[in-house]
A and B are shown apart, each in its own frame.
Chain A
Amino acid sequence: MGDAAPAGLAVRLVQRRGIPLDVTLACAPGETLALVGPSGSGKTTILRCIAGLRRAAEGRIDCAGETWFDAAAGVDVSPQRRAAGFVFQSYALFPHLSALDNVACALTHRPPAERATRARELLARVHLTGLEARKPAHLSGGQQQRVAVARALARDPKVLLLDEPFSAVDRVTRQRLYRELADLRHTLALPIVLVTHDLDEAALLADRMTILHRGRTLQTGAPYDVMTRPADALVARLVDLRNVFEGRVVALPGGARGIAWGAYALEARVPGAFADGDRVCWAIPVSGVLLHRRDRPSRGERENPIAGIVAECTELGEHTTVTMRVAGTGGLLWLRVPTHVARRNGIAAGCAVRVSLLADSLHVMPWQDLARDALAA
């Protein structure tokens, strides 16, 4: 808790019964924190706890120097008195009220004379000038989302909570709303918590992201770091890192340390915490697996060269996903190549391929039984 600035949001929630929770979060003003996890991982529950719509059995929530919830001290401030701007997944607009009145509903803390003006300002800020009198049913999905954002900001909130705010709009609208939110968040000196199950969305919009699994916060960090350097095999699976294998720390000829994987001795940056001979898990993002060209060998091919047979080759638009069975390891390695490259190299199921594993991308993690059911999908 102590590492959060007093001006920001600090959350600690613990619950054993019902929906299990073991959550530690901190979000500084001006920072966007993405909560990422599969369905049922407790993302929305956490957001509702912060807003005061749910109560965890134990824990504490501080925001902007105020304590909103403290189970031990019996503090539980009502949602009305927690200045939390909440954008619901369904937007939850008031269907019988105009866009303007929807926003004005959240302005009761201001004098009545100011409310209409302020509501217009907020709608202008989300590019809805001219649509103030429309009811939600007569607004598009993207416009409804903007009204919901304007309404959440109307409270002059101390924290902005966004629950999968892009899930109900089409792709084109989503891209536009991403840009708008990216612009908006730089003008707000608020902690913003964004719930999403979309890793790309988190990487695009968040400064940091927290990976959740079954109500537990597993890892928090910059999106790129978490996605390429997961804390363990479970996080690796949750960030869709498919190339996770077991290996052993070994000393390489020349004094450096690496990973023994079947018959291969791979160059890698092995953290000091692991001793020679330790069993470990290791992972490599698809961006760290390079296909060797058949016609023209290049220098990079000396870096962790691996040979195998293509098990499966799936063309997915511009990219082709290839899985290769690596001889002597039993492992299935995933790689992604541009479709034209796959075609030019004649890659198809059954053919022999060679790849390099970039040593800098190879990430070593504590050993975990990869067959355990927590890791299985």
Chain B
Amino acid sequence: MDWPAIVLSLELAAATVALLVPAGLALARVLAWRRFAGRRVLEAALALPLVLPPTVLGFYLLIAFGGDSPLGRAFAAVTGHTLAFSFAGLLVASLIVNLPFAIQPMQRAFEAIPDDVRAAAACCGMSPWRIFTRIELPLAWPGVLSAAVLTFAHTLGEFGVVLMVGGSIPGETKTVSIAIYDRMQAFDYAGASLLAAVLLACSLAAIAVAYSTSRPRDGLRG
């Protein structure tokens, strides 16, 4: 069993969820309720990773992360190493790739909260923060959970972008998906099938959680 690859994949997925879900929550809430110029364009841009071929996205990210780009130079100046082919670069790529998986379920969840319910909360004298924690978040919770699960599972399985941006450096950028590919290349079917089984189990668990939380909760109809 390729434990370093499994640990790396889990770390990457956990870090992506930990960073993307809170940030995506704020953005999803804005997209659900605010009407501003460019909102549709922003929504389209956020959905782009769904349809863009991973290799194309990976290619552009690699260019953006490279030592010749402003981002790459800035990162190198601060940390002393390049963004491309590093765990940090992989994480940034993972955050971008997962934007639609994180934001869309949460946006739908916030959109499903009736305007009158929020207005009623304000009329009850609840402060905006209290409305968020007591009313909005509990009502949007299934969407938040879906976002976390989808992001986690999708990060575990991402291949194309990871290969383009990270290469296959053991312990640094070699995730389970890449490891499976490497095993296949080396005709190690036993190793590949073991790792594949691990990902299959993770995916099934994620789908189970996502489906069990996305059922309409009692009360949301009322």
Query: Per-residue CB proximity of B118-139 to A under 8 Å, as 1/0?
Result: 0111111111001000110011
Q: Given A93-B222, A94-B121, A144-B222, A80–B126 Cβ distance below 8 Å?
A: yes
Residue of B nearest to A152 (CB): B123
- Contact A94/B117 with A105-B134, A136-B219, A136-B222 known, Cβ cut-off 8 Å: yes
**How many of chain B's residues touch chain A, expressed as a range?**
20 to 34
CA distance A135 to B130 in the complex (A): 20
6 contacts between A and B (CB under 8 A): A85-B123, A88-B116, A90-B116, A95-B217, A96-B138, A109-B125
Which residues in window 105-126 of A have CB below 8 A to B? 105-106, 108-109
What is the CA–CA distance of A96 and B141 in the complex, to the nearest angstrom? 11
Query: Does A84 reach chain B (CB closer than 8 Å)?
Result: yes
The contact string, 1 if C-beta is below 8 Å from chain B, for chain A 139-162, is: 000001000000110110000000
- Asked if B221 CB lies within 8 Å of chain A CBs, one says yes
Contact of B125 among A88, A92, A106 (CB under 8 A): A106
Known: A95-B139, A95-B220, A144-B222. A106 touches B124 (CB 8 A): yes
Tell yes or no: A182 within 8 A of B by CB: no
Q: Which residues of A contact B38 (CB under 8 A)?
A: none
Given A52-B122, A136-B219, 4 other A-B residues pairs in contact with their CB atoms under 8 A: A95-B220, A108-B126, A135-B222, A144-B222
Q: A80-B125, A108-B125 are in contact. Are A92 and B119 (CB under 8 A)?
A: yes
* Complex contact A108–B139 (CB within 8 A): no
A95's partner among B119, B125, B130, B222 (CB-CB below 8 A) is B222
Per the bound structure, the CA–CA distance linking A108 and B134 in Å amounts to 12
Q: Which residues of A contact B80 (CB under 8 A)?
A: none
User: Which of A80, A108, A109, A135 has the most C-beta atoms of chain B within 10 angstroms of its own C-beta?
Assistant: A80
Q: Is B123 in contact with A137, judged by CB distance below 8 angstroms?
A: no
CB of B221 within 8 A of CB of A88, answer no
Give CA–CA (A151, B122) in the complex, Å: 12
Indicate if B218 sits at the interface (CB-CB under 8 A): yes
C-beta contact mask, B136-159 vs A, less than 8 Å → 1, else 0?
001100000000000000000000
Of all chain A residues, the one with the shortest Cβ separation from B139 is A96
> Is A79's beta carbon under 8 Å from chain B?
yes
CB under 8 Å from chain B, chain A span 149-193 = 151-152, 154-155
In contact, A79 and B123 (Cβ under 8 angstroms): yes
- Given A93-B222, A95-B139, answer yes or no on A151-B114 (Cβ-Cβ < 8 Å): no
Residue of B126, B217, B218 touching A105 (CB-CB under 8 A): B126
Which residues on B sit within 8 Å (CB–CB) of A84?
123
> When chains A and B are docked, how far (Å) is the Cα of A67 from the Cα of B63?
60
